[in-house]
Structure 1
Amino acid sequence: MTVQEPTPLHFSAALPQQVAFDRAELSTILSLYGRMVAAGEWRDYAMSFLRDCAVFAVFRHTAETPLYRIEKHPRLRNRQGMYALIGMTGQVLKRGHDLPGVLSPLERKLIRSV
């Protein structure tokens, strides 16, 4: 009599194929975006949903590099926080666990521009 080895379980279906912003996160980001557009600061945006991160980039003009990128890296959830605000030069301006806290430098900029 032969003993059958248990078949290995594959949890590939449980792992997301891409990272995305959920409805609440997107609502927070688009609320800020709408206010910045109304203030004349921003004009266009782009979203990228990759395997390891989601990116929301804002532009002053369509044909240039993004002014800011708001990134979500779920693998950094237990370390520095999964949200990051990145400037035009690639410099991390703020990183944290909650999205409104990470977007606070942009909120302050909005108060000054209005």
Structure 2
Amino acid sequence: MNKYLVFESKAQAQQVIPLHKIKKIRIENQELCLAHTPKGFMAFAKNCPHLGEDLSKGKINPFGEVVCPWHSYRFSLASGEECENRWKTLKTYRAEWQGECLYVYWSS
């Protein structure tokens, strides 16, 4: 498991990714999504496991789910599970604050 520094301060993170928004981030040669939710920052795979749409174009709903813009599949940001058990689980990654720094843990 690799540890990647995403933001050096909470203020920077909140400025770049406002609450309820999703941004793509690049870690080495891999793109991921990072969402700012009321429960904190959540990292997950960029592509929907259903048909591959870019989830950074999706929305975060009040239930802590990312909603795919193509077919409205909903994935829990806590577990990655598709909320109606119709499809595969979305890959999620641990995002963690250490002091003022936000790190994402991932494996290539």
**Which TM-score applies when normalising by structure 2?**
0.28
Which has the larger share of strand?
2
- Bigger CA radius of gyration: 1
Flag the structure with more relative contact order, 1 or 2, with Cα contacts below 8 A and sequence separation at least 6: 2
